[in-house]
Amino acid sequence: MITNQVQIWTVIAGLGIGTLFIRYSFLGLLGNRELPEWFLRHLRYVGVAILPGLIAPLILWPEATGGSPDASRILATIAAITIGVWKRSVVGTVVAGFGVLYAVQYFTG
């Protein structure tokens, strides 16, 4: 663990500069160029490919329950997916998921 203030701020500055270069490589270098149609078509699927990988562990192995599946989270997921597919509303999906999660947790203690 770093305990020296100079080392901490050096690491923070280095990470900030690294992040700037990563973002500039996409936004600054490619921002004004016309991208090929095949690239844009594939780029549409990035969010759909990444979000399940980020969300699935939070549903199936939540840290709040010690890593064991929880009925309230699974029911909230089912409600959110149902509303998302049925209504195609992001706000409705989030409200349904949170509503079911907190209602089930409230009534089961």
With cut-offs at 50, 70 and 90, classify the pLDDT of residue 63: confident
Residue 3 host element (H or E): none
Instruction: Give residue 76's pLDDT.
Output: 95
Q: Model's pTM, two decimal places?
A: 0.63
**CB 76 within 8 Å of CB 100:** yes
Instruction: Give residue 23's pLDDT.
Output: 87
Give the integer Cα–Cα distance in Å for 67 and 30.
42
Instruction: Give residue 32's pLDDT.
Output: 79
